[in-house]
Amino acid sequence: MNKELLLKNLRNIPDFPVPGIQFKDVSSLFKNPECLKEMSDALYELYKDKGITKVAGIESRGFVMAASLALRLGAGFVPIRKLGKLPAETITETYGKEYGHDTIEIHKDAIDENDVVLVHDDLLATGGTMLAAYNLVKKLNPKKAMINFLIELEGLKGRDVFPADAQIDCLLSLEGK
């Protein structure tokens, strides 16, 4: 994977959404076809032999690569959305994040005990959103659940919130906060 290409095209937005946050804007990677291909190929290589049956993407930036990867793997795509956005019966999880609280939901019938699930999002910062998503997926009792991010901000130690046995992979690790 061409990490230099991805890093060169990753946009940083200071003080968004609140002062002190250095927002890593992956939309600049999505709009570049070379970057999109690099990320798609790297994700496919990581997971092509893992038996994944569902890829769950977290609203909204997590949808992009999760849906693309699901297609390449021959797996289904499962959206994990903000409260009130899914039409059928759901389960929910409320969590704290670096600048507030939020609630996410998943359809109750999205995953079953025969599924091997990869839960994907764009960025690991403090880990709150993904931990909530991972907990939702685990409540549906899949055979196995794994976690993936495009970017990890190592300085925020987001990995520390997950159980020790959680399998977590990231394409890019950055020291920043």
Residues annotated catalytic, as ranges: 61, 98
Radius of gyration for the chain, computed over Cα atoms and rounded to the nearest angstrom: 15
Bridge partners of 79, per DSSP, are 57
Contact 98, 116 (CB under 8 A): no
Angle 134-127-116 (CA atoms, 0-180°, nearest 5)?
A: 25
Indicate left, alpha or beta for 118 from its phi (over 0: left) and psi (-120 to 50: alpha).
Answer: beta
Question: Could you give the C-alpha distances from 175 to 39, 104, 126, 160, in angstroms and in order?
Answer: 20, 28, 13, 15
Could you tell me which residues come within 8 angstroms of residue 146 by beta carbon, excluding any fewer than 6 positions away? 47, 50, 52, 116, 117, 118, 119, 167, 168, 169
